[in-house]
A and B are shown apart, each in its own frame.
Chain A
Amino acid sequence: MTKFNWNQNELNFNFGQRMDSKNSLDAEKIIDEVIHKKSPQKIIFDLNNVAYVASAFLRICISMVKKMGKDNFLIINTQPQIKKIFKISGLEDFFNIT
């Protein structure tokens, strides 16, 4: 389940455990909707619960970083196996991942 948190122009998203193609598709709809409403200055993806991502999720991240710029889009609480996926996809350097 994708949840979000609005705090002083910062938009914080929380995702479910498995961000496969289907869940990513669902999440993308919610994210687009919220961003459209709030026009945030900063977006944070909190991957605390996420144990699995498919390429669909990576695509969401790419569209975020394109929209916000690297400095205003943070990916936090990333588990090692997810970091690995970012790394082998070759996209690691485009993101602020912690």
Chain B
Amino acid sequence: MLHSLRSRICLLIIIILVISVIITNVVAITSVTKHVDELTDNSSAFVLNIIKKSINAEMMRDVGHPTKINKHLHRLFTKTLTPYDFILLVNKTGGIVVTPNIDFLAKNQRETIKNTIFLPLIHRLEREKKPFSIIRKMKTSKNKLIKWEFRIAETIHPDHFVIHASQISKIREPGRELIADLLIINTLILTFGLIVSLMLIKKLTDPLHALTKHLEHLPEKKFKLNTQEKSEVTDIAKGEDDISLMAKAFMHLSSSLQKYILKFKRSISIKQRMLGELKAARKIQLGLLPENNTIDVIRHNIDVHAFLKPARQVGGDFYDFGLMHNKYFYFIVGDVSDKSIASAIFMAITKTLLGAKIKSNISPGEILTKVNDDLLNRNKMNMFVTMFLGILNLENGEIKYTNAGHPPPIVLRNNESAKFLTTKAQPVVGVMQGVKYATYTTALAKNEVLFIYSDGVTDAKNKDDELFGDNQLLDFINKNGALRPIKALTNLLLIKLARFMKYEPQTDDITMLAMRYEESAKNGLYKLTLPAEINSITKFHNFILDKTKTNPKIQKNIHDIYLAAEEAIINIIKHAYPPDEKGSITLFLDLTHADCLIIKIEDQGKPFDPTKAKPLQLDNDIDKLSIGGIGCHLMQQLTDEILYKYVDNKNILTLKFKIK
């Protein structure tokens, strides 16, 4: 409670008022009491003085004889001065000589008064020779306690003393009443002041309180006030004081916040939509790349792998490859200027144009010349593309190629170190009308490698701004060019680049396309297609036996090879096709490699990857031993390399066995 501003102000005012009232009262009471005391003393002294003056020694001589006493004197001593004081005449032994008609002088009290008041007064006067007084409380006949003061006058007569007795409580009464009145008035003023100041504080702090409350709940209400709250705040804002200014600022804050929230929401939704569209654009762009980034090695005696890693959502790099007339293999790596949606669209146009031209021509120079002219007709944004285009004759390894401003590919020949496949400089595609691109010719012998890439590879930067560079790339190809399959080479380079860049962001698209020309292998390739049924097992078995019987090295392990194949085949027979469907199984046998035998098994049943089959659960408890999974387990144990793909609605399982 004490934390609120209002209660703090209240407390402060109460403390100030109470302290001031206490001080006023104390000062008043002290001063009044002092004055009353002085007045009493003075009046008592005054009375005694008069008496002293009006009495002389002569008059006192007969005091002891009441009958003879001076009438004047008698009257003096029996009459009270006021209703509250009177004069007593006392002899040396304390006896009252003239008795005034006062009830405290009742007979039973006389002895006490004589001994406790009069005698001590007389003795003291005699001792100290100056007037003196004693204050004593005494009961009246009505049993009421009254405070008396007895003051003795200076000696007038050696045997008689004059004493002035006064009821001080009565004499001081007006003073007391004054103090009491003062107290009451002060208390009233205090109460009134408190009430008024509390009301004032409330009036002052109420708007502040209301504002604070609204401000506190503002976030819960999404920074929006309802009509009632708004009118409250508007009322507060009408004035001219600080709180009104605050209310105005509050209203401004509320409306500004609402505006910002609206803006923020709008910008977020725009951003989300943009992100969604970028994702879709990337999907479309990646969809333009060949569906498979590798090609069937056994059939086409070429091992290819391509990879593209865009720096942003959409990029400007692209690659393409494919077969032409079953005799040629074309391959392209291109890099469109900039990386944006515009460059992605430009890439799509370029790729479409290329695709159309490639089908009907086997001269890369001519193809690029035509594509360049076509692009210039549509190139409103002055974009351009660097490109390497090659066409390989699968039968003899001859490559025709052209290069439009693209980084030169690297060729790794047998028994040579890697080097760049350079050409005369030719302009980039899409800038100059009528450029005639030249076609160059080279050839790949068996096992030779060609590596085409975009500048994202060589320009990869680490945190010290060092480039990966040509030399590191040449070095890498030299060391790892022999890796098989060729996919291992590109994958390793990607890892190497990632290690080089560490946590630096990729600034450019990275594209790589690697290919190895394999030996023409028509003689060592065999194929058998049979229905997917249990009786085919023996036929597949005999087929493999028959084709391998001349090779004693293979015969040594023929049981293992066949067992792996059989487990793959029996899986297909049992699970791939629905019971009512007559499916088929095709087995390719590749004996073209000196160091390995490759069996490829294809079926068109439902997708199933035996390399991802659950591992065999081997428990010590024989009862828990599962019968399933043994086949896949054996297959994996018996092959040196196992590869699964699902392509064109086909399960393709490749089993590779080393020949020792």
Binding site for B on A (CB under 8 A): 18, 20-22, 25, 51-56, 58-59, 62-63, 65-66, 70, 81, 85, 88-91, 94
Contacts and interface: CB of A to CB of B under 8 A. Distances in A.
A20 B631 contact: no
B559 A81 contact: yes
24 contacts: A20-B541, A21-B534, A21-B566, A21-B573, A22-B537, A22-B538, A51-B559, A52-B563, A55-B567, A55-B570, A55-B630, A59-B630, A62-B625, A62-B627, A66-B622, A66-B623, A81-B559, A88-B637, A88-B638, A89-B616, A89-B633, A89-B637, A90-B633, A91-B630
A70 B622 contact: yes
A20 B634 contact: no
Interface in B535-579: 535, 537-538, 541, 559, 562-563, 566-567, 570, 573
Given A59-B630, A89-B630, A90-B616, A22 B535 contact: yes
Nearest to B632: A55
B131 to A, nearest CB: 132
B235 to A, nearest CB: 86
A85 B563 contact: yes
Interface of B: 534-535, 537-538, 541, 559, 562-563, 566-567, 570, 573, 616, 618, 622-623, 625, 627, 630-631, 633-634, 637-638
Contacts, number: 61
B567 A54 contact: yes
A20 B618 CA distance: 23
The winner among A54, A70, A88, A94 for most chain B CB atoms within 10 A is A54
B630 to A, nearest CB: 4
B284 to A, nearest CB: 46
A49 to B, nearest CB: 14
A96 to B, nearest CB: 12
A2 to B, nearest CB: 16
A20 B537 contact: yes
Contacts of A58: 630
Contacts of A51: 559
Contacts of A20: 537-538, 541, 566
A30 B622 CA distance: 24
A53 B537 CA distance: 13
A17 to B, nearest CB: 11
A63 B627 CA distance: 8
B560 to A, nearest CB: 8
Given A20-B541, A66-B622, 18 more contacts: A21-B537, A21-B570, A22-B534, A22-B535, A22-B537, A22-B538, A25-B534, A52-B559, A53-B563, A54-B563, A54-B567, A55-B631, A55-B634, A59-B630, A63-B627, A65-B622, A66-B623, A90-B633
A65 B625 CA distance: 10
B473 to A, nearest CB: 42
A80 B562 CA distance: 17
A58 B632 CA distance: 13
A76 B538 CA distance: 26
List the 5 shortest-distance A-B pairs measured between CB atoms, nearest first.
A55-B631, A55-B630, A21-B570, A88-B637, A59-B627
A71 to B, nearest CB: 11
A89 to B, nearest CB: 6
Contacts of B534: 21-22, 25
Contacts of B627: 59, 62-63
